[in-house]
Structure 1
């Protein structure tokens, strides 16, 4: 039996196809496209026409792959970009009409649950951990250990959303950085309360920006072939400082930094630094398994 998951993120659409043998899932195809569905979404809370068209075109291409692989079960999930847009339901209807793909708009709690299941599957969770999944529209935080999901919450502080609202200088100046940290202070009050009690020892970054951090620090590792990896805290700290101080053009010429993340990696670095400092976390890990792998796990029969 073949199952497929489509993850419609605010920045990137992902397609993953797996084949199930007995109780094991084997990924046989995966791809992604930098659709940038959330382009300028903070202006009027709308998916703008160009982004709308890019999204539907991408889903039509995904449909061709699904048909080619003769997939039996398909689950497409949409997160913050579609969830928060005034015309999000219009996009869902267009996807059904033009690509024959039914989209399930999931809420922040469901999103965090799927992320937890994906990260747990990777084997990254060892002891008291804080999972952080930095998306384009939202960022999810999950407190957990190997056996238990203790607490989870989704916040509208994704990298694209922060960038559109606060990234006004090049390189980003201290005033813009302070505006971001002040905003995080206000938004993350509940996270601060629960973390002060739970005291997580490890920050686990779920895919996305953390794959970029790991890839830039260790160019020889093949991100596509690993499920988890350690990230050196001193090496990360130095990299984050370099990324934040650099101009757009300087980052664009850095090896391992894809065009989609050239600016958003600054937001991800500031957010990651904030979490590490606020909760005095000394250990960072990457999980390449994220929401889409959690959704895939849920489809096992």
Structure 2
């Protein structure tokens, strides 16, 4: 099938939020994502984090059962048209890998744990595609474990932040027994204000023309104020309406007593905490009114996926931005990319590598020298660290981990424990791609556009590789000698590299 999606083809996204899991299925209609079906379940994964930040067995079972039900709705969606993203609860969970391994037995695609700022970017993308453009926009999304705040124009975010405050986390901290009091509400508001003060000046200086809110907390607060007659003529959520909602909330002593027209039962327990966070946002950022948007993370995920198929992949823009930030040599990166692609194409079928693996190798080849911006000594390790710990738009934490392994292993000695770590991270493909990148870098060690020998790589089996260097190899004695040395490193990772040339034959 073509890389381009055509009308009527389906896309799907699963958003594993800290409070709720969401499934959205959509079709592509003239370049737009039109939602066809959706499911939502209150899993409250964040509520299942114990005092040691481990997910309890009960929370894991709730999540797995929900995912199993979602999968039953995905029979018409091809796996490469699906993305599954997880947010704050799995970012925080120390045993999140256990849950991910269990989920892998259910899901057709791996779970992507996305960083807070990447979550913010995707939320903004979802909101901006479901609202008319209206100048500079501030977007607020209060989730179960974190709150994302984004300033952007049209489809481009300018500032993205993810703050550690969410309706489930704050419910546990301030309203755990369901009791409501002015004191507990104020404590929650003060805690949220402290989080917001870190970004308030930057955001106020940037400014915005309109404010939009998305997801459950803001949807519930806005709906209540509309039903109670506390919104404005455009049915926006206003500061005055929020004040009235707070005053009414504090008349109740327990969440079970709350009576609000439009409040869903599954939102009841987390409303006080969510309202406290929203109240603090309005206060610290001096917001007068907010319009609700149906677009959120899952819509943003689908638009981002659509962009990948239409060759508007944010990941490639991020790669170029990183190269610019760390002043990488674009000519040398281009040489390594070209060689790496040639080697990949020769062995992809034999090693069972796919197009996603090709993209991963290409991006690692572009980025393999970013660590030089820190120091020449051990620059591969510096590069690996930067890729592991930076906020890189478009990449999940797993994606960044893959890139880190490739860049970290592209030169110097290959240790057996590094192979073990690579296998644990992504299986044999990370091992193979790391070795392909090593060869591509080595072949281009001269950093010259002068004619290089023709090289061909073939696979006898997964543990036996053969590299042929054609032409008069005497012209490149250093290259052949270095390839000879590289045989030792390949052997450290249990792969036999045979080299054939006029000067050196195994």
TM-score (ref. length: structure 1): 0.88
2: CA distance between counterparts of 1:268 and 1:124? 27
2:356 aligned residue: none
1:155-194 matched pairs, under 5 angstroms? 155-167=163-175, 171-194=179-202
Greater Cα offset, 175-184 or 255-264: 175-184
Call closer, same or farther: CA 1:262–1:125 in 2, change over 3 Å: farther
1: CA distance between counterparts of 2:61 and 2:181? 34
1:289 aligned residue: 295
1: CA distance between counterparts of 2:299 and 2:82? 13
Greater Cα offset, 240-249 or 51-60: 240-249
Secondary structure at the aligned position of 1:132 is classed as strand
Give CA-to-partner distance per residue, 1:251-291, whole Å, 9 cap, x none: 2x433222232121111211111121222211211111011
Moved segments of 4+, more than 4 Å:
168-171
1:170 positional shift: 5.7
Secondary structure at the aligned position of 1:154 is classed as strand
1:76 positional shift: 0.3
2: CA distance between counterparts of 1:34 and 1:107? 22
Number of matched pairs: 292
Equivalent of 1:274, from 277, 280, 290? 280
2:161 aligned residue: 153
Secondary structure at the aligned position of 1:28 is classed as strand
1:225 aligned residue: none
1:1-301 matched pairs, under 5 angstroms? 1-41=9-49, 43-67=51-75, 69-72=76-79, 73-123=81-131, 126-146=134-154, 148-167=156-175, 171-200=179-208, 202-219=210-227, 230-246=236-252, 247-251=254-258, 253-300=259-306, 301=309
1:61 positional shift: 1.0
TM-score (ref. length: structure 2): 0.54
Q: Is the 8 A contact 1:95 1:101 kept in 2?
A: no
Q: What's the Cα RMSD here? A: 2.3
The structure having more radius of gyration, on CA atoms, is 2
2: CA distance between counterparts of 1:283 and 1:201? 11
User: Unaligned 5+ residue runs, structure 1?
Assistant: 221-227
1: CA distance between counterparts of 2:133 and 2:53? 36
Q: Is the 8 A contact 1:42 1:164 kept in 2?
A: no
Q: Is the 8 A contact 1:200 1:281 kept in 2?
A: no
Give CA-to-partner distance per residue, 1:76-102, whole Å, 9 cap, x none: 000001111011111111111134442
Q: Which has the higher contact order (CA 8 A, sep 6+)?
A: 1
Greater Cα offset, 211-220 or 156-165: 211-220
Structure with higher strand content: 1
Secondary structure at the aligned position of 1:285 is classed as strand
Q: Is the 8 A contact 1:59 1:101 kept in 2?
A: no
User: Unaligned 5+ residue runs, structure 2?
Assistant: 1-8, 229-233, 310-506
1:10 positional shift: 0.8
Q: Is the 8 A contact 2:124 2:296 kept in 1?
A: yes
1:169 positional shift: 6.7
Greater Cα offset, 154-163 or 24-33: 24-33
2: CA distance between counterparts of 1:84 and 1:281? 30
1:223 aligned residue: none
2: CA distance between counterparts of 1:125 and 1:142? 15
